[in-house]
């Protein structure tokens, strides 16, 4: 398989950064609410040459609350919203595990295997990438992969300037 090349990536946590985090799992596309400024900011970053990669824990799969197909449906729905705005998400990585239900794994944040896989797939160097998250486990995953972490407040939305903070 040929490796895709994107030299600089913006990794994004999903729930609470891209979409509203209600305090429970978001697995239904009808309840997926994109936060203010997200679409414009993502489109701006894409136009600046960044690859966009969603990195998300989805432990509800291991807990039996929803299926992998539900995760795919939400990601497909969000990709469709992005396409309507004239850009795309380059990749979605998710961890379906939960340590209380399926044991420990290397991909679940604060582990950094999802970031490592994306860095390898796209041929990006960690120092040229940023991970935007709303939780300390996101920052730990960023640090573990050698990527700059940017911590944002949950459910506030995005603005283009945060990657330069």
List pLDDT tens digits, range 34-84: 999 999 999 999 999 999 999 999 999 999 999 999 999 999 999 999 999
Q: Are 92 and 54 in contact (CB under 8 A)?
A: yes
Phi-psi region of 70 (alpha: psi -120 to 50; beta: other; left: phi over 0): alpha
| Residue 28 falls in the annotated catalytic set | no
pTM reported for the whole predicted model: 0.94
Given 15, 70, 90, 134, the catalytic residue: 15
| Residue 15 falls in the annotated catalytic set | yes
Over 90: is that where the pLDDT of 104 sits?
Answer: no
One CATH from 3.40.50.300, 3.40.50.1000, 3.10.350.10, 1.10.1740.10 for 1-6+25-39+46-125: 3.40.50.1000
């Amino acid at each position: 398989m040929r490796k895709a090349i994107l030299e600089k990536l913006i990794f994004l946590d999903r729930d609470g950064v891209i979409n509203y985090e209600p305090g429970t799992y978001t697995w239904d596309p009808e309840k997926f609410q994109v936060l203010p400024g997200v679409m414009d900011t993502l489109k701006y970053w894409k136009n600046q040459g960044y690859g966009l990669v969603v990195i998300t824990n989805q432990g509800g799969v291991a807990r039996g609350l929803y299926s992998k197909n539900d995760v795919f449906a939400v990601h497909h729905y969000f990709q469709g919203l992005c396409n309507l705005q004239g850009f795309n998400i380059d990749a979605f990585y998710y961890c379906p595990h939960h340590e209380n239900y399926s044991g420990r794994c290397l991909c679940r944040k604060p582990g950094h295997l999802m970031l490592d896989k994306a860095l390898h797939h796209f041929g990006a160097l960690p120092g040229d990438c940023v991970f935007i998250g709303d939780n300390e486990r996101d920052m730990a995953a960023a640090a573990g992969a050698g990527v700059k972490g940017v911590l944002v407040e949950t459910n506030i939305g995005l603005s283009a300037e945060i990657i330069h903070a």
